[in-house]
Amino acid sequence: MAKAQGNCNMNHNTGILQRYIEDFLDYLLNVRGYSDATVETYEIALRQMAEVSHFYEEDGVWVLDITPFRFKIVKNSKKTIVKKLSAVRSLVKYMEDQCHLLVKLISDESIKVPQSLPKPIEEKYIDEVLQKATVEEKLLVSMLYGLGLRISELSGLKLEDIRAGWVEIHGKGNKVRQLPLLDSLQELLQIYLKNQKPKKYLFEKGNAPMNSAQLRYKLTKLFKESGLKATPHQLRHSFATHLLNHGARISDVSELLGHETMATTQVYTKLGSVKKMQEYMRAHPLADVTHQPSEE
């Protein structure tokens, strides 16, 4: 017992999780009397999980977010996935029962696709559209996809809310969130502001901000010219999906989106098929437009 609890003194959370896994495997072998072959099966699943998952302490609770692990094992058979998730749940139960920890396990539910979930846009298509767009159009796409904004939030965005590499977004229910601007987006903003010279709002028509309908029309027209159908909400979905597929913490993505609870964000982890999962397992391309990750 002392050994397991002593893990909390380790500096790196991944190291802490790995020590708990080692203790758990030792417990299965020497206390529970599991066979070497069974323990080895547990070990393979848990080490694979620990390599990509997020383990951190928050308000006295240890959070184990296995969202990246879910994406990693999506090509496995249903039976294998069930076994691997069972191993993770057994580890969590051991940590709670034997080590007296409070552990919150995120993303261990079965994957189902809500019928209302819009299909994310493939990165290569967004990049293709950006290559052909004007400065204003590039900024429109980049603000929606690079920041995950709602179209209404972008319509009301004032110049005074953009400063020093950050943008302040006034979302639903008058909730305010701060979002970091990628370097590429900051450069694009400077070019746009120099060319367009807006007075109060980022996107203006006359002396008034462009409304959601006007911005939506510009966006759909731009994508239609490349033979694609796209909506502002699809770009927001693409922002969330691509970040999660690349291993971002669901709690961070939830905060970036301005969701009230992580339960709302978890819908983005429920993609439909193996093929879709593979297509979106990449880094956010706006962080490095020349980056084209290879398939695993």
Reported confidence tier of residue 80, pLDDT bands at 50, 70, 90: confident
Q: What is the pLDDT of residues 120-175, one digit of tens each?
A: 888 889 999 999 999 999 999 999 988 889 899 999 999 999 988 899 988 776 78
In whole angstroms, give the CA distance from residue 50 to residue 194: 47
Reported confidence tier of residue 296, pLDDT bands at 50, 70, 90: very low
Active-site option among 89, 124, 200, 233? 233
236 part of the active site? yes
Active-site option among 94, 145, 201, 268? 268
Active-site option among 150, 237, 242, 249? 150
Active-site option among 259, 280, 282, 284? 259
CA distances 266 to 49, 88, 258, Å, are 18, 19, 13
291 part of the active site? no
54 part of the active site? no
20 part of the active site? no
Q: Is the pLDDT of residue 226 over 70?
A: yes
237 part of the active site? no
Angle between helices 36-52 and 13-30 (to 10 degrees): 170
∠ CA 10-11-17, rounded to 5°: 60
Q: What is the pLDDT of residues 6-53, one digit of tens each?
A: 333 333 577 889 999 999 999 999 988 888 888 999 999 999 999 999
In whole angstroms, give the CA distance from residue 56 to residue 232: 33
259 part of the active site? yes
Q: Is the pLDDT of residue 267 over 80?
A: no
